[in-house]
Amino acid sequence: MTGMAVFRILLERLVLLVVASLVIFAAMNLLPGDPAAVMLGLDASPESLAALHQKLGLESSLPARYLHWISAFIRGDLGQSYIYDVPVRSLIGERLQSSLPLILLAMLLSLGAGIPLGVIAAAKRGTLLDTGLMGFLQLFKSIPDFWLAMMMTFLFSLTLHWLPSSGFPGWHAGALPALRALTLPAIALAIPQAAITARFMRSSLIETLSQDFIRTARAQGYSRRGVLWRIALPNALIPVLTLAGIQLPVLVTGTIIVESVFSLPGCGKLLLEAVNQRDIPVVQNLVMLIVASVMVLNVLMTIFVRWLDPRLEADPS
């Protein structure tokens, strides 16, 4: 992985980020209707409309408004919520306390369960265990995560009383209650992802095991088990990690939905409230922040995968 290659990836993603910000800005400001009227509703008085125009800076030209927004965004100023009349930044900061751990936990669980399951299925391919496992995973791939979440609250919270069914006590109440509140949401979020990961892991490993260099390693004295774990697995993991990067936005969607099911006060909940109340500054900045975070994570994943796979350096496609 040369510095030049890293630089090129970063530059590409930066351009994409600018395009993304333009798309978000355009959606909020160019679509039919006056943003102020959208926010105030149909029966707003002309005076309050004018006041809001002033407040949102709608008098200035579009390019000026875009530049003003994006430069503030880069400085970390995410604007003022229209509904709550507090800085969007403090709103988001508060909500990240549950959203960020939730998404990280879900990712960890999905890789932590998906990879071993895929390896087991590949190692035992063609057996009853493999067929059964794959059928089971196909089923879980097809379950809507929010419905799974509901069924899990029914079983684990309402019937068995093991874990809380909704709400988030916050980290100040101690790590254990907070983690307990996040457990069910994270599992609900992780199960469909783990199913996708496991199926992909299996096919990637089987594909790798059929390569010539596996035979070379066997001729060198590697045992069947050794070749699976030490030679085939590292190679087969590369596309799986790439997939994990691609699946990130899906995980974001899932987080927003699952937060809604468990009434977690996270970013997803904030976004939905803002959409319902037409709180444009919150929607615009929050969507931009989510897109930017997904892209940054994706870049990190891309660089990591390229570092793992030296061939990609020579062939960037």
- Among positions 172-211, residues that touch other proteins (CB under 8 A) are 211
- Find residue 80's DSSP bridge partners: 87
Min separation Cβ 305 and other proteins, Å: 11
Nearer to other proteins, 45 or 276 (CB): 276
Nearest CB to other proteins, comparing residues 87 and 239: 239
Residues with Cβ within 8 Å of 285's Cβ and at least 6 positions away in sequence, in order, are: 73, 78, 79, 88, 92
Helix residue ranges per DSSP H, the chain: 3-29, 35-40, 46-56, 62-75, 88-123, 128-141, 145-152, 175-209, 212-220, 224-226, 233-261, 267-276, 280-308, 311-314
Nearer to other proteins, 20 or 70 (CB): 20
In whole angstroms, how close is the CB of 77 to other proteins at the nearest point? 21
Instruction: Based on the shown chain and the rule CB under 8 A, indicate whether residue 62 belongs to the binding site for other proteins.
Output: no
Q: Which residues contact 294 (CB under 8 A, 6 or more apart)?
A: 248, 249, 252
Tell me the closest approach of the beta carbon of residue 37 to other proteins, in angstroms. 11
| Other Cβ atoms closer than 10 A to 278 | 16
Region 224-263 residues binding other proteins, contact defined as CB under 8 A: 224, 226, 231, 234-235, 238, 246, 249-250, 252-254, 256-257, 260-261
Rg (CA), the chain: 24
Window of 8-16, 99-107, 114-122, 183-191 that interacts with other proteins by CB under 8 A: 8-16
Least separation in angstroms between CB 35 and other proteins: 8
Dihedral (CA of 298, 303, 309, 311) sign: positive
Q: With CB under 8 A, what is the number of residues at the site for other proteins?
A: 75
For position 153 contacting other proteins by CB under 8 A, the verdict is yes
Between 133 and 283, name the residue whose CB sits nearer to other proteins: 283
- Print the binding letters for residues 11-30 with other proteins: x by CB under 8 A, - otherwise: -xx-xx--xx--xx--xx--
User: Does residue number 8 form part of the binding site for other proteins (CB under 8 A)?
Assistant: no
User: According to CB under 8 A, which residues from 290 to 309 bind other proteins?
Assistant: 290-291, 294-295, 298, 308-309
The letter for the amino acid at 138 is Q
Count of residues for the chain? 317
Can you say whether the dihedral through the CA atoms of 195, 200, 205, 206 is positive or negative?
Answer: positive
